[in-house]
Chain A
Amino acid sequence: DVKVTQSSRYLVKRTGEKVFLECVQDMDHENMFWYRQDPGLGLRLIYFSYDVKMKEKGDIPEGYSVSREKKERFSLILESASTNQTSMYLCASSYGLALNQPQHFGDGTRLSIL
């Protein structure tokens, strides 16, 4: 079974801090994704990556950056955390051509910015 592991289930940080969210997958998937999930808004794509050192902006990249130095690891960085970035963050991975393959999700990181 594919396992996507997010480093923290819950995280509390302060406004202005630089925040790192880590995601690791164990199935050699090419594609990795970061979403945020907010009540009433569903899942919104922040960034995705189709290969090592490659990244593409999603729908809401402002205030975020990503890093993919190794195939199995995809990091989301909040450069200067703000309260409106309080949310549930979900990482996912998929094999091959992303759009006709299922995405496998981690259990999420619930991030609170105070």
Chain B
Amino acid sequence: SQQGEEDPQALSIQEGENATMNCSYKTSINNLQWYRQNSGRGLVHLILIRSNEREKHSGRLRVTLDTSKKSSSLLITASRAADTASYFCATDQAGTALIFGKGTTLSVSS
């Protein structure tokens, strides 16, 4: 399968802590995207990082990309209960369409 893989599958933390989730993929890419999905809803785009970028920030989100290791990480700082959701990475490694990973389920308790 060409699917990316998120790690861990599930993560439980307390409010105020940082959450880190990782994504690995198999072949070369031009860009990688992260999405969030709240329970029972559609996916929402968070951030896109291109293959020539190493790090990108958006508010409390920090994304890194290591093309030599074929991996990316999403860091959410100072987590809130509202960050409880599933997080997916998506890559263009197929060349014709995005490939989504299976997701990391984040639970933030107050």
> Which residues of A pack against B, CB within 8 Å?
4, 33, 35, 40-43, 45, 48, 56, 58, 90, 92, 98-100, 102-108
Contact = CB atoms under 8 A, between A and B. Distances in A.
25 contacts: A4-B42, A42-B103, A43-B43, A43-B88, A43-B100, A45-B98, A48-B97, A56-B96, A58-B97, A90-B43, A92-B43, A99-B30, A99-B92, A99-B96, A99-B97, A100-B50, A100-B92, A102-B45, A102-B48, A103-B43, A103-B45, A105-B42, A105-B43, A106-B42, A108-B41
B40 interface: yes
B72 interface: no
Contacts of B96: 56, 99
A104 B100 contact: no
Interface residues of B, number: 24
A17 to B, nearest CB: 24
A27 to B, nearest CB: 13
A107 B100 contact: no
B33 interface: yes
Contact of B41 (A99, A102, A107): A107
